[in-house]
Structure 1
């Protein structure tokens, strides 16, 4: 307890690295004490009355170690990205290319093919496309590249033309299947959102002459806002700033920092909350008489009711976020644009989900326990599997011996599990898939002597590589993480690169789960 108290004192004083070392020393001392007790106890169990207390203390120290290690790891990853020149260059969204059979693509396309690609890119930039529309554009690009390659073939190369045709048909079909799955998910989420908003609209906009309680509340709140603005200048200043710079999204972040910190000054950032593991350990050391083993698991009857409980929790979270957003837009009308609402939602997520994600994920994991258990068994059985065992072509291996394959993607998925905001988790998944593409291009380019621009992987290579990366993480909880992300990420992400990456990761998890 003295060692843990010393570590806690260093932690509270901001001496993070020293506290990290001291926590590890505390865990070592506890393990040594338990080992000596087990060896010197005559009873067969090797357990004393103090054993549960020591185990609980070790658990609390380990929670702080994990939390500090995660923070230090993020800092190192960020510093490494800055050293590389601001991080990896963004890849084109949903990059798909033909396979390499029949020769490689020329960097100079015929004028008519180049024009088709330019038209497709212009259409993509003009508006947000649905998954099926985006898949259609991808297939147009594939077809244009196919026509360019076929035009370069000799008339006697009929076998290669047949191979190219079959490859084109396969990839176009895969694009449509994935797009249809994403479209169905998007439609389901939009329908659920429509029903929630319709229910709210039915409550708020009644057909009767008298105002509903919700409308009365809105009117009372707006009147209170106007009255408050008569005596305080800062809301009007923020409104004027939003009006002057409607496209500056940093203004929205500053406004939410002001609102959530409880201080009107925009220059003063909110004080970061203390981490739950820190507070748990602090309370734990303050009252050691409260040490107790973990609670007993829920009964089978409770387990059967958990899916319905989860649905209710999800519905309450959506309603709470919608209400917070509505109140913010009521007070600051300048945020009513699409970009303003998106930024408001991002700021609300940053404040709303960190204290909520851990218990929410625990509920998801309980509901998903049978699938997670199957995934964990599969990961254990195949933990020594190499890239070749997962069906990767030899050209997608690292060229040097002893070099871990796709290590950056594995690290990004592990970091995703440490985040507590859906948007940041989604960014980790996108970085992982971009890292896979970069590694594959590097391996192909260094092995075959080709430039990186022409060494991209095909769609049929992505699932085996991503499945191998999932296997290397050793994290069956990714299954529940993805289920929660699918529910809570903004609908707009599902039709972009983020939605494609999430769908691909879910496919890889299902594949690893089904490995025999």
Structure 2
């Protein structure tokens, strides 16, 4: 019995010792946690003071300045916990003019989703996307998702408008209610933006949003029209519909201008934050490379819905282009004013192809890109191919010619012929978007000349269907 009691006492004291040790460990862990929190708070205050010194300003601090301070503080905290920014800064300090290093740094930055710059990029993308979503997806018929297919016509623009007009006349909505809805729709984004800014991108299911938009855009390309061709409208109904359409177009243009302005502000904010993170990028050449990478990352997921809004605004121009395209689908270069020396007269020489086919194929690739800069580069390559083809065709007629084969006056009809054979009315909206988003510096040199030439050619093609039939018959005769 004594041995058993001693055994129980031993177990009791052993358990008591274990409990005491556990309590001591908990106290030590709590003390360490408190010390860690104090250090983190001290670091936060120190970094905040550094940010305040960096953005020291007299007078009242604006909301934008306060946001910039917070972002810079987040950058400093991130750099305290990660080593790769310091390594890249050291590399660029040794070779500040190395374009490869600049591109590599920005690529590395864009691949880090937890960096404050990328968090801001996502938040700004969601903001633009949420402003596009209700406009682009409005009045679309309900149908299952279909495989994605790039549109080659303006049918999608006609479908949404015709379906919308029929639904309005069928339900008997008043003019005042429709007008107020459409005009106010351009301002509905304010509440969404406030909620987005407060919650951040974590409150949104980004993948589902982009998948929904892809489904909506697919339906726009493939859905049938519900307008009855035999439907007769009273004059008052036609006047009312015309007024409603004018109000809708005014609201769409206003909404588009606001989105374009927001995108420019977003790109500037991202560039500014990149330069705050890496001061070594604050040179002219590095800025250009940085902006190009930021634009590619920013525009890629939102370009298609953004282009859809541009196509809604430029619907009439695309319809004119498509009318000319159908009228001149079998036209030769001479039918659109190309000089006879700048294309082969004998079809045998072309070996089954058609003049300037390489330029047509290159221009068709423009719609595959989602970055304005890459689209502009595609236009530049197209014009270079046109010049190369013109040189070859001119040599067929004048073997010893030493003068330039093509001049500015010759370029417009050739480019118009190439645009016609592309069979892409959306080129009108693509170029309109490029004019809004291409940096001013690129519009001075070769890129600007090529874009201006392309826009002039598109406008020429749009006007062909008004008097093109007589011109075509005259040329054929």
Q: TM-score scaled to structure 1, two decimals?
A: 0.53
Paired residue secondary structure (1:417): helix
What is the CA distance between 1:295 and its match in structure 2? Answer: 10
Alignment of 1:38-77 (within 5 A): none
Consecutive aligned runs of 4 or more in structure 1 exceeding 3 Å deviation: 204-208, 276-280, 291-299, 301-304
| Partner Cα distance (1:222, 1:460) in 2 | 53
What is the CA distance between 1:231 and its match in structure 2? Answer: 3.4
Structure 1: gaps (5+ residues): 1-203, 266-275
| Partner Cα distance (1:503, 1:386) in 2 | 24
- 414, 418, 422: which one aligns with 1:465: 414
| Partner Cα distance (1:223, 1:419) in 2 | 36
Alignment of 1:318-397 (within 5 A): 318-397=264-343
- 247, 251, 268: which one aligns with 2:101: 251
- 369, 379, 404: which one aligns with 1:419: 369
What is the CA distance between 1:468 and its match in structure 2? Answer: 1.1
| Partner Cα distance (2:78, 2:318) in 1 | 52
Provide the aligned C-alpha RMSD in A: 3.2
Provide the residue aligned with 2:359 in structure 1.
409
- 68, 74, 77: which one aligns with 1:224: 74
- 252, 256, 274: which one aligns with 1:306: 252
- CA-to-aligned-CA distance 1:18-56 (integer Å, 9 cap, x gap): xxxxxxxxxxxxxxxxxxxxxxxxxxxxxxxxxxxxxxx
What is the CA distance between 1:368 and its match in structure 2? Answer: 0.5
Provide the residue aligned with 1:428 in structure 2.
378
- CA-to-aligned-CA distance 1:439-494 (integer Å, 9 cap, x gap): 0101111321126x645212221111111111111111111111000000111110
Paired residue secondary structure (2:305): helix
| Partner Cα distance (2:412, 2:81) in 1 | 60
Structure 1 residues 362, 400: closer, same or farther in 2, change over 3 A? same
Structure 1 residues 433, 229: closer, same or farther in 2, change over 3 A? same
Structure 2: gaps (5+ residues): 1-53, 116-146, 150-206, 227-240, 468-477
What is the CA distance between 1:398 and its match in structure 2? Answer: 2.5
Structure 1 residues 296, 303: closer, same or farther in 2, change over 3 A? farther
| Partner Cα distance (1:509, 1:263) in 2 | 41
What is the CA distance between 1:367 and its match in structure 2? Answer: 0.5
| Partner Cα distance (1:512, 1:209) in 2 | 57
Alignment of 1:275-314 (within 5 A): 277=148, 294=223, 300=245, 301-314=247-260
| Partner Cα distance (1:494, 1:343) in 2 | 17
Paired residue secondary structure (1:514): helix
Structure 1 residues 245, 475: closer, same or farther in 2, change over 3 A? same
- 76, 79, 89: which one aligns with 1:239: 89
- CA-to-aligned-CA distance 1:51-87 (integer Å, 9 cap, x gap): xxxxxxxxxxxxxxxxxxxxxxxxxxxxxxxxxxxxx
- CA-to-aligned-CA distance 1:187-230 (integer Å, 9 cap, x gap): xxxxxxxxxxxxxxxxx999852333322332333333334333
Instruction: Name the larger-Rg structure.
Output: 2
Provide the residue aligned with 1:438 in structure 2.
388
Contact 1:307 1:367 in 2 (8 A): yes
| Partner Cα distance (2:114, 2:400) in 1 | 58
| Partner Cα distance (2:273, 2:67) in 1 | 11
- CA-to-aligned-CA distance 1:328-384 (integer Å, 9 cap, x gap): 111111111111111111001111111111111110111011111111111111111
Contact 2:380 2:450 in 1 (8 A): yes
Contact 2:356 2:418 in 1 (8 A): yes
* 304-313 or 495-504, which deviates more: 304-313
What is the CA distance between 1:397 and its match in structure 2? Answer: 1.2
Structure 1 residues 440, 232: closer, same or farther in 2, change over 3 A? same
Provide the residue aligned with 2:425 in structure 1.
476
Provide the residue aligned with 2:446 in structure 1.
497
Contact 1:206 1:212 in 2 (8 A): no
| Partner Cα distance (2:262, 2:394) in 1 | 49
Alignment of 1:92-111 (within 5 A): none
Provide the residue aligned with 2:171 in structure 1.
none
